[in-house]
Amino acid sequence: MNTNNIFFRPEEEMDFLPIIPLNEAENQDDLIKIDNDLPILPLRNTVLFPGVVLPITVGRDKSIEAVNEAYKTDKLVGVVSQKDSNVEDPTMHDLQEIGTIAKVVKLIKMPDGGTTVIMQGKKRFKIQSITAQDPFFKAKVEILQEEEVKDPANFQALTGSIKDLATQIIQLSPNLPSEAAIILKNIENPSFLIHFVSNNLNADLLEKQRLLETQNLSQRAELLLTLLQRELQYAELKNKVTSKTRTELDKQQREYFLQQQMKSIKEELGGDSNDLELQEMKKKAETKKWSKAAADLFKKGIEKLERMHASTPDYSVVYNHLDLLLDLPWEEYTEDQYDLKRAKKVLDHDHYGIDKVKERILEYLAVLKLKGDMKSPILCFLGPPGIGKTSLGKSIASALGRKYVRISLGGLHDESEIRGHRKTYIGAMPGRIIQSLRKVKSGNPVMILDEIDKVGTDFRGDPSSALLELLDPEQNNSFYDNYLELEYDLSKVLFIATANNIASIQPALRDRLEIIDLSGYALEEKVEIAKRHLIPKQKQAHGLEKMSFAIRDAVLSKLVESYTRESGVRELDRMLASLMRSQAKEVALKGQLKPQITAKDLEKILGKPRYSNDIYKTATIPGVAVGLAWTAVGGDILFIESMLTDGKGELKLTGNLGNVMKESASTALSYLQANAKKWGIDPKDFQTKNIHIHVPEGAVPKDGPSAGITMLTAITSAFTSRKVKTYLAMTGEITLRGVVLPVGGIKEKILAAKRAGIREVILCWQNEKDVREINSGFIKGMQFHYVRNMQQVLDLALQ
């Protein structure tokens, strides 16, 4: 029951006080006759029942005039409820058809200008027609007579139950005084009991109106009894919640009640934040250009959220999933810059050299400009560390006018990092691909897959296999992420992978990549890179931008040759950083700098040179030859040393050699034994001399066939006691017939030879094409000998 309706509440709330009339009998109601039109008083927040006395605060002008008119005449007024209590100025369509004829008992003028009317309900009536709307409503009405009770015994039981339930509710409600139960107990008129309890019932306006409209008094009592039972349950639940005891009511009903209370509190505080968030999500979804499958998935998810309470565990799972759907760039692309001249200018500005990659990007941009749309290629930049593979991707994004995102795959060993986790798992997230697209808000970024050759494999899955779908242009238009639970189009993404060693990449994955080899830098390239990029960067990093000092090309060349031995420029960058720190110290101590850094300054700041080319000049004893090797970090120089000792013709190999390299040594020895007389070697020497071949830097594993001709040259030099030419290096595979075969990694090997000061190089004739691809300016001063067999090699190599 309405716990506050028994007592008079503040007038500004327009509440009312039911008063028990001294005479409960309604016999006098039969004397009411309506000859003229009845003034109508609309009520916004209550329903008046026959027999009940209410004080009502009237504030609207029409209502005040209607009450005054009734008070001057027969003091009768028709009280009806509004269909919508929010309507300030109701029309005839806003009024209920059935109301209560009331007698104005007292009219009280309030200090604030309002009017309080004390009125008593008399008879129910039905509006037949509205005869006037100004200055107040008037209507022709029909008085509704109460039907006689057909089953008095049943009706008496109903009224007894109503009185009992009302008494129980009063007892369970701490805000109601115990006197209210005494008042109920003393009401003897069944009809007035029903109307009095109905008036004080804590029900909404429509339920009270339904009670008033029920014609049969017994049916009205039954409906009231149902509402009282519900209210009794609510009162019991509230009492148990307050006393912190368990309830025996249905769990769903309890939760519903508590949620309704919480909802009401939130509305008082300014609205339910969860509902506001869902509305914002719906508005945001209307702007998305997603597929039908995505739209259906979002619709199902939002409907599920609306049915769930925010405190349930699944709420956050569904909410986060929908939030991802809204954040992803569905059909949202950045506009490509088709200006090829600008793109070339950007690429040339950011990176010196590497023309092959620049040409490939310009070709892609040209086709895109002509065709308007095409599947993005899957490029893979292969080369040693420190040559700018990763930073090149950023330059490509800048040249194309696209967003840039980098994903590091080094050490990745969980397939879910690519495909995402099932969203039912605790802490589930989408894969890195989807996360990156969510971050950049673009469906066609340049995506760098860094260190793709260093992806791991363990019991959690094989990420390389997950990359197969991602990096296949025929499949990635429907990439499936386990968390997203949708197919997503990645065909517009320009994937660029970087790798140091192609052999570490899974064959099926390697087949999907367009490999672009990036060799190491020559001396001239490194000097140019230092002047254009590294020195300005280090000046800025050390606060020397405004300081004027120069480093000449000759000094930079000495720095590269004497203090670094690498394919890239990372070590060179560190050396330049050391120079800048020294300059910064000079400024801090003396306040000025020398106009330029000289070669002497290098030795003073960096110490004695770390590398020297004189080592290749001192290796002038027979049995020593210089070979060229390829490593994952670029080309390198290695010595092949051979020595003869008395013995039984055994071959001993040291230097941590692999099987292929050991077989090359055996092949070289077999060829020399077969052709010993041609080179003036006594065949008996092979029976009486042991041969020991050693490759220095024994801690470093070495393998491959490219040292074949170098081993044969070293063995022949040892047997013939003829020295090998100084500043000569060679590379090539041999056969038992003495044929020289081509090998790979020529550019890296030649550049390593150039760095080491080698002047002549012996190569297989089929490798001539590889040498021609190298910029002639980088190998200036070097002489190349292209051979077909070992006879030519030995003629060139031995003095």
Q: Which residues are catalytic?
A: 706, 749
Residue 36's Cβ-side half-sphere holds a number of Cα atoms within 13 Å equal to 11
461: left (phi over 0), alpha (psi -120 to 50) or beta: left
d(CA 315, CA 307): 10
State the residue for tokens 């805000």.
Answer: 175
Strand 378-382 relative to strand 514-517, pairing: parallel
Distances (CA, A) of 638 to 102, 632, 732, 767: 116, 15, 14, 20
Residues 6+ apart with CB under 8 A from 320: 423
Q: Return the half-sphere exposure (C-beta side, CA atoms, 13 A cut-off) of residue 776.
A: 3
Of the candidates 561, 570, 559, the one whose C-alpha atom is nearest the C-alpha of residue 533 is 570
CA distance 522 to 387: 11
Distance CA 543, CA 172 (A): 80
The span from the first CA to the last CA of the chain, in angstroms, equals: 119
Strand partners of residue 486: 481
Q: Are 583 and 542 in contact (CB under 8 A)?
A: yes
Contact by Cβ (8 Å): 110, 85: no
Q: Tokens 């006098």 sit at which residue?
A: 28
Give CA–CA dist 417/404, Å, rounded: 19
Percentages helix, strand, coil for the chain (3-state, rounded to 5) are 45, 20, 35
Give, to the nearest 10 degrees, the angle between helix 190-199 and helix 152-172: 40
- At 6, list the tokens: 């028994």
Residue closest to 175 by CA, chosen among 230, 242, 224, 248: 242
Tally of residues, the chain: 799
Letter string b/e over residues 581-618, b meaning 16 or more CB atoms within 10 A of that residue's CB: eebbeeeeeeeeeeeebeeebbeeebeeeeeeeeebee
Alpha helices in 351-503 (DSSP H): 355-371, 389-400, 416-419, 432-440, 463-470
CA-to-CA distance for 109 and 263, rounded, in angstroms? 38
Count of CA atoms in the C-beta half-sphere (13 A) of 757: 14
Q: Are 428 and 316 in contact (CB under 8 A)?
A: no
- The three-state DSSP-derived secondary structure of 148-192 is CCCCHHHHHHHHHHHHHHHHHHHHHCCCCCCHHHHHHHCCCCHHH
DSSP 29: G
Residue owning tokens 């070697």? 681
CB-based burial, 362-390: b 16+ in 10 Å, e otherwise: bebbeebeeeeeeebbbbbbbbbbbbbbb
- The CA distance from 597 to 579, in Å, is 9
d(CA 797, CA 155) in angstroms, rounded, equals: 128
748, 567 contact by CB (below 8 A) = yes
Taking alpha carbons only, the member of 5, 73, 77 closest to residue 43 is 77
Residue whose tokens read 């010196």: 352
Residue 657, helix vs strand vs coil: strand
Location of structure tokens 């899955």:
461
